[in-house]
Amino acid sequence: MYSVGDFPHVEGILRENAPLGKKSFFGVGGTAEILFIPKDMDDLVVFLRSMPDNIPVTVLGVMSNVLVRSGGIEGVVISLGDWFNKVFVEGNVLEVGASVHCGRLSSVALENEIGGFEFLTGIPGTVGGAVKMNAGCCGAEIFDILIECEGINFSGQIKWIKPESTAFGYRVSGIPDNLIITRAWFRGSGSVDYSVSKKVNEIIAQRRERQPLDKKSCGSAFKNPEGCKAWELIDAAGCRGMRVGGAMVSEKHCNFIINEDNATAEDIEDLGELVVQKVFENSGIRLEWEIIRLGKRR
């Protein structure tokens, strides 16, 4: 067990047993044993360089694709705050802090008539998490527009990574697990042969039509296997509308697991594992979770 007294003095927020459940898009989950929200980059550097080596570290954004189990997360949870929530525009290049929401980045690009960022309208997370998992939507991925990203490892060393130096792919960036993304630079286009605002509005309308946006959910539960769609496999296995406790496979989009009726984190995870089993029995394909599951089961 750790307490605030085990850590160096910080300028930001350092809190014990901090609740995480309400922050999650699922609206469920346990606590962070220690939560640290740095005041700025210097505060983050000092904290990491002074922190004991044996303490586990977890990095969380807005938890749009994270399920925290009811037993909570041991060690330190780091969440980047307002200092990392800035966007600077120079020509077609945008310098973006890791805690900027993807939707806001899309809006800034739209305001400056820069194309190539429209797909981010359909991604509910933050830029740091999007880069870490090479998030994508509507046939585009974050690495399509990424120039470079800045990060800091758990030892407090700052590093810069270019896309060509990593083994990125579908929902994979190749960025080390122990690197916290702090900033990223993206390049768009100032001359596109379509209306940027029209494309953004089309993506918004498509999401409203196809996804259960009025329900508590963390988006696509499973990655698409090569050559097929996860939702088609789930539907073919008879899982649409299936329930475990208060968790349910969405009738509207069956690659979404929703918190339909006061589900627990365990209800959601158990339902997902049941879907994996049913799909494997029906198709021989084992689905891989896209939602990140963290912490201990209660």
Active site residues: 171, 220, 290
The Cα–Cα gap between 283 and 100 comes to 39
Q: How far apart are CA 62 and CA 267, in angstroms?
A: 21
Q: How far apart are the first and last CA of the chain?
A: 16
Strand 57-59 to 73-78 pairing: parallel
Cα gap 272→263, rounded to integer Å = 13
3-class DSSP state of 249? strand
Token pair recorded at residue 141: 């991925």
Residue among 240, 246, 256 at smallest CA distance from 207: 256
Q: What is the dihedral of CA 154, 157, 158, 162, to 10 degrees?
A: -80
Residue pair 142/130 in contact (Cβ under 8 Å)? The answer is yes
Is the separation of the CB atoms in 117 and 105 below 8 Å? yes
Provide the β-strand partners of residue 137: 140
